[in-house]
């Protein structure tokens, strides 16, 4: 296929050059060179994809740069129309030596009725106003194959918003279904349909439809899936998580087989056919050309053909027909009656109550709002039709959910937010698993619900949730984000790309969390890896921009800025709504590099400022993270950045006890390894260079008491599970105090995360086994409760509700069984037990007179 395509390109290039030279000579010197502008031949279809057969047509589109006329009134349009005619005749006219290629020009703007050659501006105007889905699919494969390649590239760049829409459009699948039905209708002979390797059931066209549908749906958001060849696009769709890898491999094998059959059919008489012959002798010859041998060659061919076409059609049917069949299977007479009788108030309220809705009147209002749209923006007929098709399956899932009222309210808000964009409805229609996941999210997590409602465009990322690894490595995240950033055209797009990646990964982690696929420690580790990935990317963008603006060359000295993660980021315990606590420290590097330029402090200050801005300045995609730099030397009164020498001097001479405690968790999250090693040596010497005297122990106890007094009380008798009595901060303060006291003599306890520190303190005999078990059990329980509370609520604070009835969902999500009352009672009993046990160990270890 590649060699035939290369031959076609060479002939086209020659034909275009010769025809232009000949025509310019005929029209006069004014038409030779820059005056009429540039001209390009675009290869479409198999030519564009590098997939030509022996007897393929070549699909061409002719585009010229601009309209205009010479002094005699002869127009560019006339000139380039003639040029297009000349190129076309050169390829397809029959001479005594035969012909080169058949030429098909029906993919041009306006199809067969459009001008033979069209200006760049006219082409763009046509697609903006009249472009259809089949034309978007056609332009997926387009590329310049003759004439001015730069003009072709400019056209393709300008068509990106048309071909690869920024907002997800699952209506594309509906349009492609219509196209496929037309193809099927053209094959009236059932026998021909079974023998047609291109247009028949499970044929080449169905593979192309599957691939192109996924490219059109996802390509605008994820440029990595943009590839011209079918096999290349299939591989990218698989690697990016949009097509299951096993299915992609099977489709690739099937596609190669079917294309091979097509080649072997056409090579005999150079006829453009896709039909396996009826004659047995001809089928036997075809089987031999395909490598089948022996008396069973024909049977083996048909068995192989049947196996591959079955694989293809199964994938095609799953994408284009499966969801509709599943929706029909799931219809419930009670729900059908509810939807048909919404105007009957009493009957509707009774049905909603039977389905588990706690507030039937509110639920009926939400359903009517979904059906009709808000008064200021009534639902369009297309939107109403899509909702009518989706509603039965949607209500089944609502009724099955933990909190149907909450889920319905959030769904109504979601559909109101997306307004007239029916593409979101089509996504749910074609992906019932995504619909179920969305309902579960809205029913179980107020935090994720509000996040999702702020970013409704993330709906398409849920399509990937069951294909993406549950636990991703930082290296994998970095690789993907780097690839996405490399495809961005400018800084604004890069910042949007960074935020979009963060939001998608954040939602992926949350979705796997609410599905019970991640433990609290795994959630924290994934959120930490995501933050590190984003900080590293932001630092690289910031450094590049500062270098460009300053005109300075790159080099090791310019890369001498380290970013230290503090708090939960440094400990690898990041939460969903955590800020990022950062400290920026630089190494001046080679003095010669700075000669005649700005000072290192000014240079790295600008990089740090731009790094922070890259993460927390809102763009159209929102912000990535809130940044807190108050833990830097001298806090808000200190410089945003400091040199490694200043960092060491400050902690040697001026730092306070709380800063020594904070540095227990400090860890490099971005920056050069050599500087990281130097900072780690400074940190270790400052934190663990000595023990902890009695006055310092008392100071830490007083700090803990102040936190409990100011933030841990006043939340009802249950208190705050983080800052209250026997809470997480009790464990963290005790562990950190023991690390400061014993880390000098016991290097094994110099770890950053609390769980790891507990294990090390027990292994070193600093904590008894009973104490370690009590603190470890309390820490695991409180972390699990805190994680669930953050998901359940969209507000700060980690206090258990004093009203038992409101704790039922939390108890259920934590796995407590029995009746509602029994589940809540068991939860509260465990909380009280762990709280008392933790505080008992804390008091015993840090016994001081209490005031």
Q: How far apart are CA 557 and CA 603, in angstroms?
A: 11
Long-range pairs for 224-232: beta carbons < 8 A, 24 or more residues apart: 224/483, 224/484, 224/487, 226/140, 226/164, 228/48, 228/49, 228/50, 228/140, 228/141, 228/142, 228/143, 229/49, 229/50, 229/51, 229/141, 230/49, 230/51, 230/255, 231/255, 231/256
The pLDDT assigned to 850 comes to: 42
Residue that is written with structure tokens 């933990």 in the block: 402
What is the number of alpha carbons within 13 Å of residue 300 lying toward its C-beta? Answer: 14
Q: How far apart are CA 393 and CA 370, in angstroms?
A: 14
Contacts of 195 (CB under 8 A, 6+ apart): 275, 276, 277, 278
How many degrees, rounded to 5, is the angle at CA 795 between CA 792 and CA 797? 90
Residue that is written with structure tokens 């030397």 in the block: 633
Which among 232, 226, 167 has a CA at the least distance from the CA of 487?
226
Residue that is written with structure tokens 């009973």 in the block: 770
Q: How far apart are CA 114 and CA 109, in angstroms?
A: 6
Long-range pairs for 602-606: beta carbons < 8 A, 24 or more residues apart: 603/546, 603/550, 603/558, 604/560, 604/561, 604/641, 605/639, 605/640, 605/641, 606/546
* Tokens at 833, concatenated: 């037990």
Q: How far apart are CA 802 and CA 459, in angstroms?
A: 35
Which among 93, 90, 135 has a CA at the least distance from the CA of 110?
135
Q: How far apart are CA 251 and CA 255, in angstroms?
A: 6
CB 253 within 8 A of CB 266: no
Which H or E run includes 561?
strand 561-565
Q: How far apart are CA 281 and CA 278, in angstroms?
A: 9
Handedness of CA 271, 274, 275, 279 (dihedral sign): positive
CB atoms near residue 434 (< 10 Å): 22
Residue that is written with structure tokens 């027990």 in the block: 762
Q: How far apart are CA 227 and CA 163, in angstroms?
A: 13
CB atoms near residue 406 (< 10 Å): 19
Range list of β-strands (E), 389-501: none
pTM tops 0.75:
no
**Distances, alpha carbon 360 to alpha carbons 29, 101, 399, 441, 555, in Å:** 81, 68, 12, 21, 66
Which H or E run includes 647?
helix 644-653
Q: What is the distance of C-alpha 793 from the center of its chain?
A: 24
CB 604 within 8 A of CB 596: no
Q: Given the DSSP bridges, would you call strands 580-586 and 627-628 parallel, antiparallel or unpaired?
A: parallel
Which among 338, 428, 441, 347 has a CA at the least distance from the CA of 387?
428
The pLDDT assigned to 270 comes to: 66
Q: How far apart are CA 217 and CA 186, in angstroms?
A: 27
Long-range pairs for 325-328: beta carbons < 8 A, 24 or more residues apart: 326/393, 326/432, 327/389, 327/390, 327/392, 327/393, 327/429, 327/432
Q: Which residues does residue 59 pair with via DSSP β-bridges, in sequence order?
A: 44, 104
Report the largest interatomic distance among the alpha carbons of the chain, rounded to a whole angstrom. 110
- The one-character DSSP state at 73 is S
Q: How far apart are CA 767 and CA 731, in angstroms?
A: 12
Phi, psi of 816 (to 5 degrees): -80, 135
* Tokens at 267, concatenated: 């090579």
Per-residue 3-state assignment (H helix, E strand, C coil) for 339-379:
HHCCCCHHHHHHHHHHCCCCCHHHHHHHHHHHHHCCCCCCC
Q: How far apart are CA 402 and CA 399, in angstroms?
A: 8
* Tokens at 278, concatenated: 């009826």
* Blockwise average pLDDT, block size 10, the chain, 851 residues: 84 88 77 71 91 83 85 80 92 83 89 87 83 87 92 90 70 69 64 80 90 85 86 92 89 93 81 82 90 88 90 82 53 70 88 88 89 75 79 85 88 81 75 84 88 83 64 92 90 94 91 85 95 98 91 80 96 92 90 72 94 95 94 90 95 93 96 94 96 93 89 61 91 97 96 95 95 94 88 70 78 81 90 94 75 36
Long-range pairs for 339-345: beta carbons < 8 A, 24 or more residues apart: 339/367, 339/388, 339/391, 339/392, 339/395, 342/367, 342/368, 342/371
Q: How far apart are CA 510 and CA 450, in angstroms?
A: 12
CB 59 within 8 A of CB 45: yes
CB atoms near residue 694 (< 10 Å): 8
Give percent helix, percent strand, percent coil of the chain, each to the nearest 5: 65, 5, 30
Q: How far apart are CA 374 and CA 343, in angstroms?
A: 17
Q: How far apart are CA 156 and CA 133, in angstroms?
A: 16
Residues in the chain: 851
Q: How far apart are CA 79 and CA 77, in angstroms?
A: 5
């Amino acid at each position: 296929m590649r060699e035939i395509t290369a031959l076609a390109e060479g002939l086209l290039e020659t034909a275009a050059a010769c025809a232009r030279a000949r025509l310019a000579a005929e029209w006069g010197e004014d038409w030779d060179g820059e005056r009429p502008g540039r001209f390009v031949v675009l290869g479409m279809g198999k030519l564009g994809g590098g997939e030509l057969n022996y007897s393929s047509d070549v699909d061409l589109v002719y585009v010229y740069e601009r309209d205009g006329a010479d002094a005699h009134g002869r127009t560019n349009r006339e000139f380039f129309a003639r040029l297009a005619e000349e190129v076309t005749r050169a390829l397809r006219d029959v001479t005594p030596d035969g012909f080169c290629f058949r030429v098909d020009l029906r993919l041009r703007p306006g199809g067969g009725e459009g001008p033979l050659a069209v200006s760049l501006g006219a082409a763009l105007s046509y697609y903006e106003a009249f472009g259809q889905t089949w034309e978007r699919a056609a332009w997926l494969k387009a590329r310049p194959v003759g004439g001015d390649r730069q003009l072709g590239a400019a056209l393709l760049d300008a068509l990106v918003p048309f071909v690869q829409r920024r907002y997800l459009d699952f209506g594309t699948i509906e349009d492609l279904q219509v196209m496929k039905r037309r193809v099927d209708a053209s094959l009236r002979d059932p026998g021909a349909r079974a023998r047609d390797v291109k247009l028949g059931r499970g044929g080449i066209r169905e593979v192309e439809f599957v691939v192109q549908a996924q490219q059109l749906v996802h390509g605008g958001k994820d440029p990595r899936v943009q590839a011209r060849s079918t096999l290349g696009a299939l591989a990218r769709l698989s690697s990016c998580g949009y097509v299951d890898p096993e299915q992609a491999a099977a489709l690739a094998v099937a596609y190669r087989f079917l294309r091979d059959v097509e080649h072997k059919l056409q090579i005999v008489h150079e006829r453009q056919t896709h039909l396996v012959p009826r004659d047995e002798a001809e089928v036997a010859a075809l089987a031999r050309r395909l490598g089948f041998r022996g008396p069973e060659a024909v049977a083996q061919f048909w068995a192989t053909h049947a196996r591959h076409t079955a694989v293809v059609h199964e994938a095609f049917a799953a994408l284009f027909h499966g969801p509709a069949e599943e929706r029909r299977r799931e219809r419930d007479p009670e729900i059908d009656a509810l939807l048909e009788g919404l105007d009957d108030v009493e009957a509707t309220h009774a049905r909603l109550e039977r389905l588990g809705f706690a507030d039937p009147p509110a639920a009926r209002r939400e359903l009517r709002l979904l059906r009709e749209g808000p008064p200021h923006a009534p639902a369009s007929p297309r939107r109403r039709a899509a909702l009518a098709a989706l509603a039965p399956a949607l209500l089944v899932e609502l009724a099955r959910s933990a909190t149907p009222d909450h889920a319905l309210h959030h769904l109504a808000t979601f559909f109101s937010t997306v307004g007239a964009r029916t593409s979101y409805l089509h996504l749910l229609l074609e992906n019932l698993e995504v619909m179920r996941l969305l309902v579960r999210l809205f029913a179980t997590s107020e935090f994720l619900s509000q996040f999702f409602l702020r970013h409704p465009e993330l709906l398409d990322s849920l399509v990937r949730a069951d294909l993406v690894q549950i636990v991703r490595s930082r290296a994998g995240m970095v690789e993907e984000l780097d690839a996405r950033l490399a495809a961005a055209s400018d800084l604004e797009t890069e910042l949007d790309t960074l935020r979009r990646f963060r939001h998608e990964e954040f939602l992926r982690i949350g979705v796997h969390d609410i599905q019970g696929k991640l433990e609290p420690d795994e959630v924290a580790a994934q959120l930490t890896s995501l933050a590190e990935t984003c900080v590293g990317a932001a630092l690289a963008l910031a450094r590049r921009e500062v270098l460009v603006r300053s005109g300075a060359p790159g080099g090791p000295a310019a890369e001498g800025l380290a970013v230290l993660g503090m708090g939960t980021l440094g400990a690898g315990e990041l939460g969903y709504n955590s800020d990022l606590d950062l400290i920026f420290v630089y190494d001046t590097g080679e003095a010669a590099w700075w000669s005649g330029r700005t000072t290192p402090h000014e240079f790295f200050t600008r990089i740090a400022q731009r790094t922070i801005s890259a993460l927390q300045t809102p763009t159209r995609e929102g912000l990535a993270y809130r940044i807190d730099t108050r833990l830097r030397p001298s806090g808000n009164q200190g410089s945003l950045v400091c040199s490694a020498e200043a960092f060491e001097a400050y902690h040697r001479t001026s730092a306070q006890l709380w800063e020594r405690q904070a540095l227990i968790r400090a860890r490099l999250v971005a920056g050069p390894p050599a500087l990281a090693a130097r900072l780690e040596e400074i940190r270790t010497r400052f934190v663990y260079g000595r023990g902890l005297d009695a006055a310092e122990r008392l100071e830490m106890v007083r700090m803990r008491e102040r936190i409990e007094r100011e933030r841990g009380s006043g939340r009802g008798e249950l208190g705050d599970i983080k800052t209250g009595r026997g809470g997480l901060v009790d464990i963290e303060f005790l562990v950190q105090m023991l690390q400061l006291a014993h880390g000098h003599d016991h290097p094994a306890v110099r770890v950053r995360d609390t769980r790891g520190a507990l294990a090390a303190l027990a292994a070193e005999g600093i904590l008894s086994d009973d104490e370690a078990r009590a603190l470890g059990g309390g820490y695991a329980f409180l972390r699990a409760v805190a994680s669930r509370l953050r998901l359940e609520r969209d507000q700060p604070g980690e206090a258990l509700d004093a009203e038992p009835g409101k704790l039922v969902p939390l108890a259920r999500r934590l796995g407590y069984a029995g009746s509602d009352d029994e589940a809540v009672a068991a939860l509260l009993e465990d909380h009280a037990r762990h709280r008392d046990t933790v505080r008992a160990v804390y008091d015993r270890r840090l016994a001081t007179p209490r005031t």
